[in-house]
Structure 1
Amino acid sequence: MSDKGLNKLYIYKIALVASIGGFLFGYDLVIISGALPFLEADFGLSPAMKGFAVSSAILGAISGPLVGLWCADRLGRRKTMMLASFFFMISAIGSGLALGIWDFALWRFLGGVGIGLAMMSSPIYIAELAPPHLRGVLVNVNQLSNVIGINLAVIAGYLFSFDGWGWRWMMFSEGLPVVFLVMGLLVIPESPRWLVAQRRGGEALKILERINGRRRAEEELAEINAGLQQEAGGSFREAWQPGIRTALIIGTILMIFSQVNGVNMMLLYAPTIMAEAGVSMGSSAILSSIPVYFVILVCTLLAFPLIRKFSRRGLLIASVSLMALGHLVMALNLYQGWPPMFTLIPMFIGTGAFTLGFAPLSWIIASEIFPTRIRSKALAVVCFFLYLSSFVIAQFFPMLTDFFTRSFGDAAGVYVLFAAVCLSCVWFSWKKVPETKGLSLEEIGRFWQGKGATESSRKNGVPESVS
């Protein structure tokens, strides 16, 4: 597709603002790891309560899509992101002022609701405004912001790693990017596809015209209208119709794989993994994780040209295959007891491969695979299972590691299991995930409708050629 008439600067500004939600997700994920030792000392936390302090935000994220489901359809994508900003801000202030673990966990839970809202609405919003040939790159801006948030959280955690109010300033620091998000949301437009669904075509045309010029805007508006007329009304029952049901299952399973593949645990527990292996940089456990987080930042930048050049499925399969290799190398490393610094190599392979392909592509595919009318509902279901699986794996990873270490003398078996999960994902991606690169959202919607007609015909005994 030609870039003639395309206002790229305007598109990138919109994507940058929307991706601040991804930044906050990454920042929130890592800042708690820096605060945890100080929370443990101040509140006298048991191991179970330490886990609760971390997982309370994930529990909130599970409920976020359920709240966002209504908001994204009724209020719009932009206002849903604004609501997420509100939850982020009260969480930053409340958790910084917490007097005990229970109110701290409550504020973290509310911040998790903001995460769920933002990570559901931001990819939808970017995908619905992006031209088809730029959609993958622009949705990956969300992943880049996420990784930048992770790296800055490591730095903030180190700067505020002092007794007294140190951990409180870590929590307060999350409020600063929220201010920038709110300011940006005040000036960016609503999703034109949502506006058309609300019968506000005139407003949608003005936004599309600013993005693509008058001629292309009119063509795109006609395509959106035609797509909405062909699609169902958007209820959960309709999301389970043949064809669309297949898209829902594929999106959900792909997102579950994105959480249970083991690489997220490498990121979340990077300081712990390297400290247990004997790797450290200076006296700070936080600093020891910087090489891993720097690698994922570089790989996220490299992912932009890769997403533009290669097919979705091809890059996805290659990425997950390398992740499996990283896990197998880690298992061999632990089993053989190689030098501590060698632990960095499989971590670089696994986390680098994840951020080069699987991490951005899981969100790209999930944000574009569903028809417009049911996109927010379908993505809410997908995000619910994403955060549920994230919560489960975060809770069971330390238990699995402890079990294998006590039973076999090392944790190598954990990484063999993760390698098996990755290889299962390779098979699933090869067999089930369709190629969506370069297709408009309306073309993807028609693809699933055609597949649904084929499935119905098969069920009724009609030959596929006839349907």
Structure 2
Amino acid sequence: MSNQKSFNSGYIIGISFISALGGYLFGFDFAVISGALPFLRTQFALTPAWEGFLTGSLALGCIVGCLFAGNIADKYGRKPGLVIAALIFAVSSIGIALSQSLTYFLVLRFAAGIGVGMASMLCPMYIAEISPAEVRGRNVAINQLTVVIGILVTNLVNYFLADKNLDAVHWMRNIGLSQSAYEHLRNIDAWRWMFGLGAVPSTIFLIGVTWLPESPRWLLKAGQADKAKLILNKLGSPDFAESTFRAVEKSLTGSAKQSYAMVFEKAVRPAVVVGIALAVFQQFCGINVVFNYTSTIFESVGANLDRQLFETVAIGIVNLVFTLLAMWQVDKLGRRPLMLWGALGLSILYILLALFLQNKFPAGLVSVVVLLAISTYAISLAPVTWVLISEIFPNKIRGVASSVAIVSLWLAYFILVFTFPLLADSLGTYGPFYLYAGICFAGFLFVKAKVKETKGQTLEELEDNLIRH
């Protein structure tokens, strides 16, 4: 195990943050729909089914993006995949803003999902592969930090744009503008700007990625040992570079070209099952309903549009604060305790939330429970799931195994957000939260039985432990 002084912390954190800008874009595309939905419902006359499909269309693109990224990451390297993701983000953001029909919007939203899916897989993988064991959890959590910063900034922008629209109502009516003309201008000022502004961080990410070195672990797997050594020497001392080089080289001995069939081999099957289960659980725990359908939840207790959008901002702030706390604790408390605490805590809080919504409690009290749920998720399931997925797979199949796990995550996300409007329409907004509470308790039992601690071990040590067990 390397001594903390033997690696170049500043350089490693710097390239981790650049890679994690993909997480910011992930957060943007994830959050923008929450602020835009009140306007899109009117713009496209959405039924509950179409509202769910429009929200979930991002996830369908993410599935394609993960599969696409897995092949690129293994064949050409981690860096080219990040470049492609950045380009897709930029183009799709502008395209969505110019959408004139629901079909066009859905196609571009699907395309944006391809970029999100690529980034959701490649960013944590890249960070894990360039980070020493002692700080790997914190560094991978940087990706989750940029995700929540993206969510918060997007929610603030959405709130600002919507607030300006509310002010514009009075001005436009005072000058005698017709309602149809107002609706047209409102849509230009609101949801089109909400999506179009994504082109700005996309361009910044694209510029930053060109500066990143390739993953030394991928270079070794690709037979480019000299380049791998050069990068390892930038990451740390000669001793750190040599020991890491030997450990990675040993882990790759006898490995063949990756294929999806390898993911289901007996030796690695336990890790793959755990990775898929954790990915699915992170979505079926239900928290993304709170993120994506904030307006629906608070509308059900009588909150107006301004209050609904304000709640998205409050959620973003709490999400950021507790993600920072998670980064501080993930390499101290460990992955397993945080996952256990998060799953059980969410189960209890969802029951409270369902009761509050069912009995039409004031929006302020509902907000307290929602923010407690967000803080619980942000310090546990949100960052730790991504950390574990980036850690538990062996070097020789990490690309394809990660893509299988994250495809499962996005499929679960699609099912979650597609079904919520339908469930809420038939059961009431409160109904689905009883279901999510049960899922969270089942997740608690699964983590307790199957998930082992990974903190403080190198990726190669984790692989050795997997093989022995």
Q: Taking structure 1 as the reference length, what is the TM-score of the superposition? A: 0.91
**Is the 8 Å Cα contact of residues 301 and 361 (structure 2) preserved in structure 1?**
no
Residue 112 of structure 2 aligns with which residue? 111
Q: Which runs of 5+ in 2 are unaligned?
A: 166-185
Whether 1:243 and 2:267 are equivalent positions in the alignment is: yes
**Is the 8 Å Cα contact of residues 322 and 349 (structure 1) preserved in structure 2?**
no
User: Shift in Å at residue 284 of structure 1?
Assistant: 5.1
Counterpart CA distance in 2 for 1:272 and 1:41 is 14
Q: Which among 380, 383, 408 is matched to residue 357 of structure 1?
A: 380
Deviations 1:182-240 (A, max 9, x none): 11111110000000000111111111111111121011101110111055543222221
**Is the 8 Å Cα contact of residues 243 and 450 (structure 1) preserved in structure 2?**
no
Deviations 1:258-316 (A, max 9, x none): 00011121111122212222345x83531232222211111111111211211211111
Residue 381 of structure 1 aligns with which residue? 404
Matched ranges for 1:75-94 at <5 A: 75-94=76-95
Deviations 1:380-404 (A, max 9, x none): 1111111111001101112222222
Deviations 1:396-427 (A, max 9, x none): 1122222223xxxxx54422221111111111
Whether 1:295 and 2:318 are equivalent positions in the alignment is: yes
Query: 3-state DSSP class of the match of 1:165?
Result: helix
Matched ranges for 1:67-466 at <5 A: 67-161=68-162, 162=165, 163-166=186-189, 167-229=191-253, 231=255, 233-279=257-303, 283=306, 285-405=308-428, 411-451=429-469
User: Shift in Å at residue 374 of structure 1?
Assistant: 0.4
Structure 1 pair 397–289 and aligned structure 2 pair: CA distance change class (3 A): same
Structure 1 pair 60–192 and aligned structure 2 pair: CA distance change class (3 A): same
2:418 maps to amino acid: Q
Deviations 1:338-361 (A, max 9, x none): 333211222122111110011101
Whether 1:13 and 2:6 are equivalent positions in the alignment is: no
Query: 3-state DSSP class of the match of 2:4?
Result: coil
Counterpart CA distance in 2 for 1:444 and 1:89 is 37
Q: Which runs of 5+ in 1 are unaligned?
A: 406-410, 452-467
Counterpart CA distance in 1 for 2:130 and 2:393 is 15
1:184 maps to amino acid: G
User: Shift in Å at residue 332 of structure 1?
Assistant: 2.9
The count of residues paired between Structure 1 and Structure 2 equals: 445
Counterpart CA distance in 1 for 2:51 and 2:446 is 35
**Is the 8 Å Cα contact of residues 89 and 175 (structure 1) preserved in structure 2?**
yes
Query: 3-state DSSP class of the match of 2:5?
Result: coil
User: Shift in Å at residue 89 of structure 1?
Assistant: 1.2
- The runs of 4+ residues in structure 1 deviating greater than 6 Å are none
2:122 maps to amino acid: S
**Is the 8 Å Cα contact of residues 123 and 142 (structure 1) preserved in structure 2?**
yes
1:72 maps to amino acid: A
Counterpart CA distance in 2 for 1:404 and 1:97 is 36
Counterpart CA distance in 1 for 2:456 and 2:393 is 15
1:260 maps to amino acid: F
Deviations 1:307-345 (A, max 9, x none): 121121111101111111211221332344433321122
